[in-house]
Chains A and B, each alone.
Chain A
């Protein structure tokens, strides 16, 4: 299995631009999580889905952030418009409901907003 796949790995954009981060979870996993990691705030859970349905989006910082999961094999996190304070590493993780409850993390997308 290829593991959780995220794209792009690095993104540099200018303030005000729209940014779309993509994630392909591990096949057969039915939960998907989006996290943000910064030096100041550490690792924050933004939103998670179960069976493609958003369960808890209380971590989404503001309306500029939105996430979708149109099917079991794909999710996007969109920031529009982007701001310099959105610069961070964004991780996607997936999990299978049964088993030892392990979340498998992707390699992350490093976003820099100038």
Chain B
């Protein structure tokens, strides 16, 4: 089955690193994504990783993929107050025609 799980809440201080974790169940997933949702807005793609990669870095963002454990993480370096938002992990199942399966979302709160 398809199921994506995340912790619901993370609180950090400005300047610290944030690590948001996600587990998924479909081992045939081709792409895995991180989306960001700011208050009152829709989701916006932050970054993604192809399933044959272990790591992807994009400026302050680092994505780590452990396929054996079906574990995905998003690390935000030097977290800023503007990073406060809900972060969604999503997988594209290997059998799902174009649809994404989203996690429950992790609310990140960055305090000054």
Chain A interface residues toward B at CB < 8 A:
4, 31, 33, 42-43, 45, 48, 50, 55-56, 91, 93, 95, 97, 100-108
Contact = CB atoms under 8 A, between A and B. Distances in A.
Contacts, number: 49
B43 A105 contact: yes
Interface of B: 31, 40-45, 48, 88, 92, 97-105
Contacts of B103: 42
B99 A33 contact: yes
B97 A101 contact: no
Given A31-B98, A43-B88, A45-B99, A105 B44 contact: yes
Contact of A91 (B42, B101, B104): B42
A12 to B, nearest CB: 16
Contacts of B31: 101
A108 B42 CA distance: 6
